[in-house]
Structure 1
Amino acid sequence: MLSQQLQVFLQVADSGSFAKAAQRLFVTPASVMKQMNALERRLGLTLLMRNNQGVSLTAAGRSLYEDGLRLQAYAADAVTRAKQAGGRDGVTIRVGSSLLNPSKVLTDLWAPLRETYGNYTFRIVPYEDTKEQILSVITSLGDRIDVLVGSFNSRSMQARANYLPLGTYRFCIALPEGHRLASRKTLTLDDLHGERVVMVKSGDTERIDEFHRLLKREHPQIIIEEASYYYDVDTFNLCGQQGLPLLTLDAWAGVHPSLITLPLVDLDYGVSYGILYARKPSEAVRGFIDIIRRHVAGSAE
């Protein structure tokens, strides 16, 4: 329902480059550039700053991007409402999906409920969970995306949305191929003595803060290299390039092809994963969350 140029612009803004947008749209980079140039000429505005690293949004581009996301979500909702008015009653839940927080976790959880709640369907919405963008994605829940599923234990994240815990991801260590410990099957914290270990910065996640204190108290031989408050794919790339161990989660074992993820066998430590949804969810989302909550509670009994 949105114009093709606006849809391409939204994809370029999400991707950060013409080449990546072209891959996702199954067109050539030249075609994407042509449409963006035409859009800027039609509006009489510069929407994108071009450079060797890709593209970034101007102030005008940021404004159009944010409004465009709202229009995209409204258009999708309009189709849903039209189908319901036409007698095909159903509920569509828009599930965000990214490399670190894939939607498969939720769709697998939903599998035993699918027959009972056949009127529910999922629409998968890809999003970029970079450390620069993730908080804005969470703040806008309900506009383009209804729910996210993953490890969202940051105080800043949970202050922006409701959170329903589902289970626990375990702490592991990801090692670059060729690292002296990479041939092991398991690791202990003693094995990491003398190593620089990259981990989430302290100060925003309670379990991470506890782990920092534990290492400083009982394993001062481990050198803590603080990353940002949130990981993204660049965090994994950096560790692979610099040969540094990375504190990670068992759920992220396959994120980077050059990193080997090993469990910490002497440590019963982890963080919760769950569903994030808007502070003021729609009636449909609230009903969906209630179904999940009852299912999880029943499975735990």
Structure 2
Amino acid sequence: MELRHLRYFVAVAEELHYGRAAQRLHVAQPGLSQQIKAFERELGVELFARNRRGVALTAAGAALLPAATDVLARADAAVELARRHGTGEAGRLTISLTRSAPRRVVTELVDPFRAAHPAVEVRVTSGFTAQDEQRLRDRSIDAAFLRMLDDPRDDLADRTVGTEAIVAAVPSADPLARKRRLRRADVTGRPLVWWPREHGPRMWDRMLDEVFGEGVRPEPAHWEPEEEHMLHAVAQGHGVTFITEGKAAALHVPGVAVRRFAEPVPTVPITLAWLRGNPNPALRRFLEHLPG
């Protein structure tokens, strides 16, 4: 049994007229009549009773019509499903956010894509840059919002999608907390609370270059694994630290004052990275949807 036989049958059954059915199907009427007869021979039953006034469904035809209509609807739905997945209008997209990424990455870049492509299941996870680069390469994620690629080999592509200011976090009792804006000289020589370089070597270097000057590497006085722990260490008086403005807005630790820098404000990029050659059509759609 071929689907076209079912389509021919349903058209004739609904029109009860070979001429109108042929016009609807954009086929020649003699060819349609021959196909219906071939279908009846295949089934071993007559589907239509023919007379001078036209055609009428036999009992077998009447029984077949709802089932045939259902089969065709399911077949059309399957074809449409395959098409939508193949073009990226449906499917699944897994995106990771670096832990320091601001919330606006989701609200400004991911959420509009979700709204425009509701049939794409967008999963958002998080991770460190080095971890996400490996996950891109093994295709456990499709894209990653991070700061800077740590291992920028040719297999990964990236695009800068924004920048974010670096701010200083100082103890609330420190005289620096009374200033509206800080200068680099204000924090030079202060004990530094910092994080492990292996979590993101290029970001680690970029932040220190932006705050202290290119190539200047003060020795951290206190190490913590991530921003929230760093802020608690600042509150306990271990030193000052530097985080992104978005992260500072999301973390409120008693005993810590967050201050912006005077111009020129130190910044870090927000970068989207993906694996070149990733075959996921939803990724292509996402890249096309991004501004710029």
TM-score by length of 2: 0.54
Q: Give the aligned partner of residue 145 of structure 1.
A: 141
1:90 matched to 2:90? The reply is: yes
Q: Distance in 2 between matches of 1:83 and 1:227?
A: 58
**Structure 1 counterpart SS, 2:263:** coil
Identity of aligned residues (%): 13
Q: Residues 277 and 103 from structure 1, CA distance in 2 versus in 1: closer, same or farther, beyond 3 angstroms?
A: farther
| Cα-to-partner distance string for 1:116-154 (whole Å, 9 max, x where unaligned) | x4355353333454xxxx523331126433222242x25
- Provide the residue aligned with 1:263 in structure 2: 260
- The yes-or-no answer on 1:181 pairing with 2:176 is yes
1:245 aligns with 2:240: yes
**Map 1:1-301 → 2, pairs under 5 A:** 84-85=81-82, 90-97=90-97, 99-101=99-101, 104-110=104-110, 117-119=116-118, 121-129=120-128, 134-141=129-136, 143-151=139-147, 153-156=148-151, 158-159=152-153, 161-199=156-194, 204-205=202-203, 207-208=206-207, 210-211=209-210, 214=213, 224-225=219-220, 231=226, 233-258=228-253, 259-293=256-290, 295=291, 297=292
Aligned-residue offset at 1:168: 1.0
* Structure 1: distance between partners of 2:230 and 2:279: 35
Stretches of 4+ moved more than 6 A in 1?
Answer: none
Task: Give the C-alpha shift of residue 226 in structure 1.
Answer: 7.6
1:203 deviates by 6.5
For residues 20-58 of structure 1, what are the alpha-carbon distances to aligned partners after superposition, in whole Å with 9 as ceiling and x for unaligned? xxxxxxxxxxxxxxxxxxxxxxxxxxxxxxxxxxxxxxx
- Judged with a 3 Å threshold, the aligned counterparts in structure 2 of structure 1 residues 236 and 262 are, in CA distance, closer, same or farther, namely same
**8 Å Cα contact 2:171/2:177 also seen in 1:** yes
Q: 1:282 to 1:233 in 2, by over 3 A?
A: farther
- SS of 2:144's partner is strand
Letter in 1 for 2:141: I
Residues 214 and 204 of structure 1: is their aligned pair in 2 closer, same or farther, counting only changes over 3 Å?
same
Q: CA deviation at 1:102?
A: 5.7
With over 3 angstroms needed to count, the CA separation of the structure-2 counterparts of 1:170 and 1:99, relative to structure 1, is same
Q: 1:110 to 1:154 in 2, by over 3 A?
A: closer
**Structure 2 gaps, min length 5:** 1-77
Aligned partner of 2:23 in structure 1 is none
Larger radius of gyration: 2
Query: SS at 1:268's partner residue?
Result: coil
Once the two structures are TM-superposed, the CA of residue 90 in structure 1 deviates from its matched residue by 1.4
Q: Which amino acid aligns with 2:240?
A: P
Partner of 2:270: helix, strand, or coil?
strand
Does the C-alpha gap of structure 1 residues 177 and 150 become closer, same or farther in structure 2, counting only changes over 3 Å? Answer: farther
Q: CA RMSD in A?
A: 4.1
Counterpart residue identity of residue 270, structure 1: T
Structure 2 counterpart of 1:263, one-letter code: R
Structure 1 unaligned regions, length at least 5: 1-80
Instruction: Return the TM-score normalized by structure 1.
Output: 0.52
Contact 1:179 1:243 (C-alpha < 8 Å) held by counterparts: no
| Residues 111/272 of structure 1: CA separation in 2 closer, same or farther (3 Å cut) | same
Alignment-mate amino acid for residue 269 of structure 1 = P
Deviation at 1:264, TM superposition (A): 0.6
Shift of 1:173: 0.7
Distance 1:181 1:83 in 2: 62
Q: CA deviation at 1:240?
A: 3.7
Distance 2:102 2:211 in 1: 27
Q: Per-residue deviation at 1:197?
A: 3.0
CA distance in 1, matches of 2:283, 2:240: 40
For 2:170, give the aligned amino acid. L
